[in-house]
Structure formats: C-alpha cells, structure tokens
Amino acid sequence: MKDSGQKQDMQEQKEVQDQIRESGQVIVENGKGKPRIYILSVIGEIEGHENLSGSSKTTKYEHVLPKLAEIEGDDDVDGILLLINTVGGDVSCGLALAEMVASLSKPTVSLVIGDSHSIGVPLAVASDQSFIVPTGTMMIHPVRMTGMVIGAVQTYEYFQMIEDRIILLWRSIPGWEKSA
C-alpha cells in the first residue's frame, strides 16, 4: 500500500514538472487554508498569428488566454503572479493578453524579472500591482511612421500630439522624476 502511495506522489511530481517544462505554469500552495497562487510565465517572444521557428523561445497566446479564463473560473485559485521576461512580439496578441489580465476579478501581480519590451510593457502594467527587479528593463519603441511623410503643418502637429501623449504617460508613472 505504501508503494502505491509513493508511485502516485512520484506521478504527481512528474506531472507538475511536465507542466512547468511545457508551459512555465504552476500553482503554489502554501498549506491548508492559505492562498493558492497561480504562477504564469510570459517568457521569450509573444507568439500570435505567425508561428516562429522551433528554436525561438515563445509564449503562445492561444495557450495563455484559455488558461486565464480557466483560472478566473477556478474557485481554488486565489490570485495570479505573472512572471515576465519578454522582448515583445505580436502586438495584437499581446494586447489581448493584457486586456484579459486587466479584466480578471482575482488579484493579479506582475513581476518583470528580466526584460519587458515592446508589447510586454502594457502586459506588465495590466495587472493590479506591477513590480520590476532592480536589474530589469522595460522599453517602449520610439514613435515611428511608415510610408511617405508630407512636411506640412498637420504632420508637425500630429508628431507634437504623439510626443505630448508619451510625456503625459511617462509622468503618470510613480517615481518618474528619479529616472528622468
């Protein structure tokens, strides 16, 4: 009887290890009656509508969205810790993830443990609380346009409006004075 219990424990441990290896996701349990925290990793490039090469480290948004919906409906999960180390990726898919995180009724916390670039920035700040390690970086792209730009007053005013919005956003971040 003892052997079957050990085999079952080993099987459960193997399943947890496989889940971490495949999706970077695990539930942390702190004992009976304590909160259960679901850890969800966004590591590598956010893969969306285009498949990246097999040698690229990616987070597939079509796997994360259903998992977030499942967590929302799971009464056993009390909160979510989002671990982020991403160079960005598919913008529309990253925005879908950010909107889903922002819409959750469970407490959410994001921790940038390396980089959170491009679409990773809105994803990081979509949670209820956002943290970044001292050596982490968050970077948004500079304003850019493609195609022909006509040197007219309206074009200058448009660029001025974009610059004003970026400065307003930057100043809304707590502690921006220290980094300026």
Q: What is the DSSP letter of 139?
A: E
86 and 37 both lie in a single domain: yes
Query: Per residue in 123-133, pLDDT tens?
Result: 998 999 999 99
133 and 152 both lie in a single domain: no
Query: What is the distance between the alpha carbons of residues 21 and 94, in angstroms, rounded to a whole number?
Result: 22
- Quick one: pLDDT at residue 118? 87
Domain count, the chain: 2
Q: Domain of 174? A: 142-180
**Residue at token pair 């195609």:** 147
User: What predicted TM-score, i.e. pTM, was given to this entire model?
Assistant: 0.65
- Quick one: pLDDT at residue 101? 94
66 and 152 both lie in a single domain: no
Query: Which residue spans within 2-157 are E strands per DSSP?
Result: 25-29, 36-47, 58-60, 79-89, 108-117, 129-132, 137-139
154 and 128 both lie in a single domain: no
152 and 169 both lie in a single domain: yes
132 and 152 both lie in a single domain: no
84 and 98 both lie in a single domain: yes
- Quick one: pLDDT at residue 29? 64
CATH of the domain at 19: 3.90.226.10
The ranges of the chain with pLDDT < 70 are 1-2, 16-34, 52-53, 142-150, 174-180
117 and 74 both lie in a single domain: yes
Query: Per residue in 135-159, pLDDT tens?
Result: 988 887 766 666 666 677 877 787 7
Give the residue numbers marked as catalytic.
118, 141
103 and 169 both lie in a single domain: no
